[in-house]
């Protein structure tokens, strides 16, 4: 039953094997698939729907939940803060700094689901780049080079006598 509502979807333990078989079947090539309707009619699956199904199957096969939601769905600031794993006051500061677009609805701010996801992906990308730069600087500074004693675990008797 299609209601247009956003809902979390998960595969039960009994459904895991079936979901994994679907994922393996969809992940092959060529990427042409058909859907058999309840009345038995065979319908070609459009590429966009195929990609949604493939991604959903991949996540469900890992035992995780899937959320299907329109990107323009409006969220409260608390819902957006929860999604970003930040406090609501911090999210409000992000909105005030125009880091995430928002709309005023009466006295309340509302943000689009898609804008929150876009910010989350951007933040993850920036963190990854900063971490890569930190690792590179640490390697160049020789911080990953361990002294022989520290690199081995336990000291043998002759090394203990030296220390």
Residues 49-63 have pLDDT tens digits of 888 888 888 888 888
* Burial of 60: CB neighbours in 10 Å, binned 0-12, 13-18, 19+: buried
CATH number of 74-140: 1.10.1660
The H or E element containing residue 133 is helix 113-140
Q: Report which of 69, 82, 84, 72 is spatially closest to residue 111, judged by C-alpha positions.
A: 72
Residue 100: count of CB within 10 angstroms of its CB: 21
State yes or no: pLDDT of 140 exceeds 70: yes
pTM beyond 0.75: the answer is no
Residue spans of the domains in the chain: they are 10-68, 74-140
Distances (CA, A) of 160 to 46, 54, 149, 155: 69, 57, 10, 6
How many Cα neighbours within 13 Å face the side chain of 120? 13
| pLDDT given at position 66 | 87
Predicted pLDDT of residue 23: 81
């Amino acid at each position: 039953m299609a209601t247009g509502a956003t809902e979390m979807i998960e595969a039960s333990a009994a459904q895991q094997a079936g979901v994994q078989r679907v994922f393996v079947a969809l992940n092959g090539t060529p990427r042409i698939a058909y859907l058999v309707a309840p009345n038995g009619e065979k319908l070609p699956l459009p590429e966009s729907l195929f990609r949604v199904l493939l991604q959903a199957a991949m996540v469900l096969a890992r035992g995780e939940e899937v959320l299907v939601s329109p990107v323009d769905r409006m969220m409260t600031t608390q819902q957006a803060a929860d999604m970003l794993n930040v406090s609501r006051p911090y999210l409000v500061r992000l909105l005030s700094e125009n880091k995430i677009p928002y709309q005023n609805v009466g006295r309340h701010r509302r943000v689009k689901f898609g804008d929150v996801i876009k910010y989350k992906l951007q933040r993850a990308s920036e963190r990854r780049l900063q971490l890569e730069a930190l690792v590179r600087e640490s390697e160049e500074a020789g911080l990953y080079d361990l002294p022989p004693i520290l690199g081995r675990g336990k000291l043998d008797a002759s090394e203990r006598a030296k220390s």
